[in-house]
Structures are given as C-alpha cells and as structure tokens.
Chain A
Amino acid sequence: KQEVTQIPAALSVPEGENLVLNCSFTDSAIYNLQWFRQDPGKGLTSLLLIQSSQREQTSGRLNASLDKSSGRSTLYIAASQPGDSATYLCAVSEPKGGGQNFVFGPGTRLSVLP
C-alpha cells in the first residue's frame, strides 16, 4: 500500500530565506507527483506536477524535483515571502481500476515571518 510522508510537519522561517520541503513515498509505480498549496479554509491549489519520467519542474520561485527510484521529492521555495504562508501537500498518482488514485501526504505547515 502506497504511503506518503512529509517532513517537516511545520516550519517557520524569516522572510527572504530559501527553504526545502520534503516528500517521501513507498511505491515507485506512480504516474506523477503533485505539490499543492492549501490556505486555511480553502481547497487545494496545484502548484507543480512532475511526471514519472521527469526529474524536475519549475514555476517562478518554486522548483520541485523527483527521484522516483528513491521515493523522494523536494519542493524548493526561493526568497520566501509572507504570502507563501500556507500548508503544502504532496500527492502521488498511481494506477487504480480504470483511473488513477492520488495518495496524499499529511502536509507541511509553513509560516514566513515578515
């Protein structure tokens, strides 16, 4: 059974710092890995999707890497801003029946202090 973990559970950094969030998964038979952002009381917003054949994806100040063989992904946030404060979740997509199943990690709660 696929399991996804995230380290750390919470992180507090001063504005301007670069930071790394970690995601680990147990089964490498995945379609893709996604990083999401969740603001309090809101749904999840997809930030980056890395296909299983890719190594990394970049969007603005965000860079996500994927090492499928070791079951790891990292989300790198450059020059953090208070607006980056949110919970970040990773999810892996794996085959299920006629579609796909997304298995989520518990999230990392990020606070960026002004």
Chain B
Amino acid sequence: GAGVSQSPRYKVAKRGQDVALRCDPISGHVSLFWYQQALGQGPEFLTYFQNEAQLDKSGLPSDRFFAERPEGSVSTLKIQRTQQEDSAVYLCASSGTDRGRDSNQPQHFGDGTRLSIL
C-alpha cells in the first residue's frame, strides 16, 4: 500500500516478555519517527531516524527500549523485559524531507500497535 504500515495491530504479552513492533514507512521517506501514546494522553516522542542513522533517541524511557532501521526503510522497535507501564499505543510516522526543512512537513502515521502487558 501507499501508506505507513505497522504490525502487529494488537499485541498482548506477559510481563517480562520481549516484544518487537514493526514499521514499514512510505517508500522513499527519509525520516522515521516512533511515538508512544498512553491512554488519555497525546503521543510522546520516542526516537527519530534519518535513513539508517538514529539521530535522536532522547525519548526512549529506559534501556529496555531499542529501535533500529538497518537499511533505511523498515524499522523495528523492541522492548525487552516488558512492564505493565509499557502498555500503550505505539505509533510510527514518516516524512519525506531532509532534516533541514522537517518542521514544515506533515508526518504520515501508521495505524499504530496497541500493546497490552498483562
């Protein structure tokens, strides 16, 4: 498809398990973002890639969170030893421009992955 694709749509895991969330951005988009949305709140920034380079990971809440984009297209967000507070919707977004003009460009979002930790 032409949009940002995320999988799985829903993920239920037991506390302590590792999970991996996938994002397939719009083809050719340079910038890729991950956001976390807790219930009743707005999305919060986690990390940003420009092509394969992870330029900003300041929003990752702990060292249990790890993201990669090895070939500059598909990205994976991995959460190790999940905790209940990791339950949230994880959104991926992409945009097509280079960093210098990013502020003026809208981001294109996927449907998100709803993660529930039991």
Partners in one complex: no
A contact set with B: CB distance below 8 Å: none
B contact set with A: CB distance below 8 Å: none
